[in-house]
Structure 1
Amino acid sequence: MVRTVTSFGRSGTFDWLYQRVTAVVLLAYTLFIVGFIFFSKDFGYQAWSELFAQRWMRVFSLVTLLSTIIHAWIGLWSVVTDYITNRMMGGKATVLRLFIEVVLAAVAVLYAVWGIEILWGV
């Protein structure tokens, strides 16, 4: 079996499973936030601030942030390898593919650091 170094998972099966698990986390977070907004009696800055002051909410948000990054990485990696470089250049665009993947990885790290700073910063 050939393993690509730039792939997030160990195989297509693991990538498929990661995407499904992260999708469930994203759905749970979305439903929770929408429910919180709709069912709060006095929704405003104070309620929002109190919600995010709780450790479990920050952990839930961090897990969701990491799930978003994993989900996006697998999806974008699939698009880059399958549709952009292979179809555009006949499969001979390794440098272009690696460049795009490095840029996407750098953006993912930037978003992760930024999100952690927002959630856990002073």
Structure 2
Amino acid sequence: MADNNNIGAKRLVVGAHYGLRDWLAQRLTAVVMAIYTVILLVCFLTASNFSYDGWAGLFSHQWFKLVTFVALMSLFFHAWIGVRDIWMDYVKPVGIRLFLQVATILWLVACAGYAAQILWRV
């Protein structure tokens, strides 16, 4: 009976072993997105020109483009962690799970490229 004990130093742990690192990454990316939301709200509430020219003027500053891109990268990484966990928890066939993870990565990289293209065209 003592040989079947899975508690203690010799416990067999299965899974991806991400745990604390992903939990922390989710919280940090959420904080970055919350700070960006506050910055965007302040800019919106203090603006007097609610037109395309006003928004284009706001995004014409290089620092604002960079802050926006950092917030978007945080969003994409936050989404990756969440969706990857969903795939790992609920899709059991390895081939299908791998396909879904690769498709998710490709989609998020394409979104990041499109976001950069939009931001630096303004």
Cα distance in 1, alignment partners of residues 97 and 35 from structure 2: 33
TM-score norm. by structure 1 comes to 0.80
More off after superposition, 73-82 vs 41-50:
41-50
Gaps of 5+ in 2: 1-12
Which of residues 18, 23, 36 is equivalent to 1:29? 36
Q: Aligned with 1:42: secondary structure?
A: coil
1:28 deviates by: 1.2
Q: Aligned with 2:49: secondary structure?
A: coil
User: Match of 2:5?
Assistant: none
Gaps of 5+ in 1: 5-9, 86-90
TM-score norm. by structure 2 comes to 0.80
1:42 deviates by: 2.5
- Residue identity over aligned pairs, in percent, reads 35
Cα distance in 2, alignment partners of residues 59 and 2 from structure 1: 40
Higher Cα radius of gyration? 2
1:41 deviates by: 2.1
Runs of 4+ in 1 over 4 A off after TM superposition: 1-4
CA RMSD in angstroms comes to 1.9
Q: Aligned with 1:100: secondary structure?
A: helix
Which of residues 57, 62, 82 is equivalent to 1:75? 82
